Amino acid sequence: MDRFVIEGPTPLEGEIAVGGAKNAVLPLMAAALLAEGDSVIENVPDLHDVRFFMTILEGLGATCSLVDNRLVISTTGLDSCEAPYDLVRKMRASIYVLGPLLAARGRARVSLPGGCAWGPRPVNLHLEGLGALGAELELSEGYITGRCGTGDHARLRGGRFRFEPSSVGGTANVLMAAVLAEGVTELENCAVEPEVTQLAEALAAAGARIEGVGTTTLRIEGVERIDPLNHRVMADRIEAGTFMAGVAAAGGRITLLGVDTEHLRPVSAVLLDMGCEIREEGDRLTVEMDRRPRPVEVTTRPYPGFPTDMQAQVMAVCALASGTSFITETIYTDRFTHVAELQRLGADIRTDGARATVFGVQQLQGAPVMATDLRASAALVLAGVAAQGETTVNRVYHIDRGYERIETRLARLGASIRREKS
């Protein structure tokens, strides 16, 4: 297992290009299963999660090639409908293959997924939504087994389903399945996160008939086939927000290149309240901080609210604020595994259920810490850049799941950070 060794504090200065969005790439990869031929996805970050998902698709018989952030997925050799435990246990997003397999192949056997250790994140909305389209599903021995009726040409059928609560993964999975279902499907209370909207846009460009893209109500008229995907992935709003939070914590001035500033509005609003200066110019965003952060009150919400995937990073900034901040987590209510590690760096944080009270301190102090999940890892790295002395972040394979060579990119911005073998 690798670790990061960080010497702080160091302000961040310079320009950095933001990579493609992990949370947009994975459902697009699954959507390639809906078409026969070669799907091409551009601006794909070379992440552990992407490589894992390629392995899952290859286990189904697809061939995958990722070169220079260009991913080609060929489905002409698909010969399996089973995603086994040994692969699926490594990442939760593997559940995305369930809907496309049922829609395109009429059957599927997918292990219940793994992924980050925190929080109960049930797959019931995926299963209920697919059931509303006529899928016959059974849970047995840790696997989801599904089929679409009987016969060689059995298809899902259009139906109506309402997500309660709204679910990003559930919306994506059922949307993909509905594209090839017979008849019309109406989905209500859909997630409107940009990654879901991009998936719908990519499917529509390939021949799917989808109305209401970008809204909470989607109407899908099923088609018999779609063309292979040809799509460029949007910039990663969470990666961009992480670098912005790094400036808020450590100070400095950076310019992010290739971003969608609209997607960053919820994060920008919080950082503006904390005292950052933010300037937008086309797809460039500059963030500057020359003072101690001000305290804030933050509640995570579905998009366009403040993203749960930025909660840990903003908590690291709040740890250095000039007063008391309050953070309420409404999406995954036990997503506070990073609190104990931030406390090892000198943060003063108290939790009560889904609410954290952060009493800002003048200075964090370097110490050995342990990463517990993807976004917690990012928070610890940012805290280490802002802390006095040496911080060692262990188990950084978590951060490699969602950030491409983050230590190299932070070093280009002036951070003193290096990767070591444990």
Q: Catalytic positions, please?
A: 116
52 phi and psi angles, rounded to 5 deg: -60, -45
Q: At what angle do helices 48-59 and 22-31 cross, to 10 degrees?
A: 10
Neighbours of 394 (CB within 10 A): 18
Residue with tokens 């504090």, as numbered in its chain:
9
Q: Which two tokens stand for residue 200?
A: 């719908």
- 8 Å CB contact between 135 and 174: no
Numbers of helices and strands, H then E, in the chain: 14, 24
Residues 300, 331: contact at Cβ < 8 Å? yes
Nearest-angstrom CA–CA distance, 321 and 136? 53
Sign of the alpha-carbon torsion through 300, 303, 308, 313: negative
In sequence order, the β-bridge partners of residue 272 are none
C-alpha span between 316 and 299 (Å, rounded): 15
Residues in the chain: 422
Laid out side by side, the sheet with 324-328 consists of 297-299, 324-328, 355-359, 348-352
Q: For 168-228, give the secondary structure using H, E and C.
A: HHHHHHHHHHHHCCECEEEEECCCCCHHHHHHHHHHHHCCCEEECCCCCCEEEECCCCCCC
